[in-house]
Amino acid sequence: MDISKILEYQKQDSEIIKLERKLYASEDKKIYQDMVNVVKNAQNRSTALDNEAKTLFDEYKTLEKAYNENQKSCGAVLNTKLEKVSDEDLNNVSKSVSNLMDNINILEKKLVYMAERVNAILSEFDSTKKKYAQAKQKYTEHKEKYDKLVETLTPQIEEKKKELKKLEKDIDANILAKYKQKRADKVYPVFVPLNDKSCGGCMMELPSASLMIIKDKGYLECEHCHRIIYIG
């Protein structure tokens, strides 16, 4: 089997793989993709904080109203002319004042907590906004760098693919089909030389029977890594 053409094909193909790996492994690509998630998370958190702030504001207004009403009721009770009140009514007034004061104390604590929570939300919102701005800036910066890399390497990849296409017409169809199948199965390089008595891919030593087949046919599929071993 004449494999000189397929070896040339593989050489050109390896150049494409190298270029594609540059794109795939680009640090700029990784960073800008990470920033997409950071921006999205910041947007989601900002929305959640905004909704929580609105809910707290509504609850605060309700509590504030209840607090004012309790204070007003307490003031009205305290302004009652006690000399005209019976002992039983006086006892009821005392209980009312005590209950109202308890309510006021509870409401005061809730109002203080809610004010603290609102301040915490505002602080986190400001922090989230900064993260969003920083992430968006990094996204833009690294996306532009990656786009330039794509702009530079894509024409090179396309040109080499054209060269591969030209080579295909001079390669045996069965060999080419086998190559493409191996390539699709992530077996690469597909063709490797016999290295003394070992596979040039996985470096596993071949049994004598396999060596005889290679010498006879000129090639053999490695039973370990499934690359095609040839005599160089």
> Are 96 and 208 within one domain?
no
Domain C-terminal end among 170, 191, 218: 170
- DSSP output for 145-158: HHHHHHHHHHHHHH
Q: Are residues 188 and 164 in the same domain?
A: no
The answer to whether the Cα torsion of 27, 31, 34, 36 is positive or negative is negative
The partner residues of 230 in beta bridges, in order of sequence, read 193, 219
Clarify whether residues 219 and 153 are in a common domain: no
User: Which structural domain, as residue segments, surrounds residue 190?
Assistant: 179-230
95 and 69 part of one domain: yes
pLDDT of residue 106: 80
Same domain, residue pair 209 and 95: no
Asked if residue 127 and residue 84 are part of one domain, the reply reads yes
Residues of the chain below pLDDT 50? none
Give the CA-trace dihedral at 123, 126, 127, 129, to 10 degrees.
160
Please state the pTM of the whole predicted model. 0.65
> So what's the pLDDT on residue 85?
52
10 and 99 assigned to the same domain:
yes
Give residue 115's pLDDT.
84
The total of other beta-carbon atoms located within 10 Å of residue 189's CB is 19
Residue 148 and residue 70 share a domain: yes
Q: What is the pLDDT of residue 88?
A: 56
